[in-house]
Amino acid sequence: MASPIPFPPHIAALKAYIPGRGIGQLASELGIAPERIAKLASNENPLGASPLAIKAMADAAIDVSRYPDNDCTALVAALAQRYGVPPDWVVVGAGSESLLGIAAATLLTPGRKTLYPQYSFQAFVNAAQRLGAMPIVAAAPELAVDLGTLTRGLGEEPALVYLANPGNPTGTCLDPDSVRDFLARVPPHVVMVLDEAYFEFMPAALRGDSIALVRNHPNLLLTRTFSKAYGLAGLRVGYGIAQPALADMLRRVRPPFTVSDAAQAAAVAALHDEEFLRRTLTVNAEGLHALQAGLETLGFSHLPSSTNFVLTEVGDGAAWSRRLEREGFIVRPVGNYGLPGWLRISVGTPAEVSGLLSAMAAGARNPT
């Protein structure tokens, strides 16, 4: 709608974020119980959250009249210990998405450039656009990150480079030597964000020592999250690890009090619940294998995933999404990423995976 308010052009060009349909919303539309809906659209943990995290959250949520600990003292200490870094290398944020925004706000201004691969996570792209930065998009003709075009993009003199490994929505990952070699080419005055939201799901052979990269590169910010493998997406907790000069600047830019005490306490407990993480990774590995094998049997190609979701080529992603919703499965069409022929499907419980594959088999027989 036309408005007399003079929004800057890069703000007026922003698109609204469209989240997946909610379980409650679809259940009432279909007139069925919410338990019969499988949400496989946001790469959430199908096992829920660690019971220890839930208890810690409940215990910590009692006094909501106080502002939370802005320094996230206990969580920072736990993460510093886990990774063997000093506490001032750790920056906690309201989801790692908020850290992507903070990194962008710290480095980008109108006219500065930011480099990222085609098919990069929308949240980073939007954060850069909000700041009026000029995007340099490294073409990815095979969908997975193309290190050749990304390396050439460095010649355009970006202030900030963004690389998710594994990527979303692709699910693919680079081998650790390639990441290390690319980082060695990033000039020291250029900051790089290495987004490892799916780190825990990566096969051991593909997992590099990213903490060592942070030690060797004062211009590197590594981000991870409690939203995916740890099952705390609703609480909004993520973190970054960087050397102190960069970390200190990020903390100054970060808005205060964005991570509640309940979220901080749950994250500390989740970090220590190794049994829950192990179970999550086992269920995911089996589900991922079944989902990829099932899609292949049905004749749908997919990218090789190192995450808890699969990007699969179905022909018309939006039509398939609507068809599967009628069967109680919420999946993610990715037309907004420029991939209208693809669907992103999160790995669910074994029952959810087999139910989804049956619905896709029926849909493939009777396209409507």
Ligand X SMILES: *Cc1c(COP(=O)(O)O)cnc(C)c1O
- Shortest Cβ distance from residue 38 to ligand X (Å)? 19
Q: Chain centroid to CA 119: how far?
A: 13
Among 44, 97, 325, 352, binds ligand X (CB under 6 A): 97
Among 106, 114, 129, 227, binds ligand X (CB under 6 A): 227
- Shortest Cβ distance from residue 63 to ligand X (Å)? 25
224 near 197, Cβ under 8 Å?
Answer: yes
Among 106, 129, 172, 225, binds ligand X (CB under 6 A): 225
Please give the DSSP secondary-structure letter assigned to residue 89.
Answer: G
Task: Determine, following the binding rule CB under 6 A, whether residue 260 of this chain makes contact with ligand X.
Answer: no
Residue type, 29: E
Using the contact rule CB under 6 A, the part of the chain among 55-63, 89-97, 186-194, 350-358 near ligand X is: 89-97
Task: Determine, following the binding rule CB under 6 A, whether residue 96 of this chain makes contact with ligand X.
Answer: yes
- 31-70 footprint of ligand X as x/- string (CB under 6 A): ------------x---------------------------
Task: Determine, following the binding rule CB under 6 A, whether residue 105 of this chain makes contact with ligand X.
Answer: no
Please give the DSSP secondary-structure letter assigned to residue 215.
Answer: H
Task: Determine, following the binding rule CB under 6 A, whether residue 121 of this chain makes contact with ligand X.
Answer: yes
Task: Determine, following the binding rule CB under 6 A, whether residue 233 of this chain makes contact with ligand X.
Answer: yes
Task: Determine, following the binding rule CB under 6 A, whether residue 101 of this chain makes contact with ligand X.
Answer: no
HSE, side-chain direction, 13 A CA sphere, residue 44: 20
- Shortest Cβ distance from residue 11 to ligand X (Å)? 22
Residue type, 349: T
CA separation for the pair 362, 73 (Å, rounded): 52
Q: Which residues contact 150 (CB under 8 A, 6 or more apart)?
A: 115, 117, 138, 161, 163, 182
First CA to last CA across the chain, in angstroms?
35
Task: Determine, following the binding rule CB under 6 A, whether residue 197 of this chain makes contact with ligand X.
Answer: yes
Q: 3-class DSSP state for residue 199?
A: helix
Largest CA distance in the chain: 59
- Sign of torsion, CA 77 81 83 89? positive
- Shortest Cβ distance from residue 79 to ligand X (Å)? 14
Residues that bind ligand X (CB under 6 A): 43, 95-97, 121, 164, 168, 195, 197, 225, 227-228, 233, 238
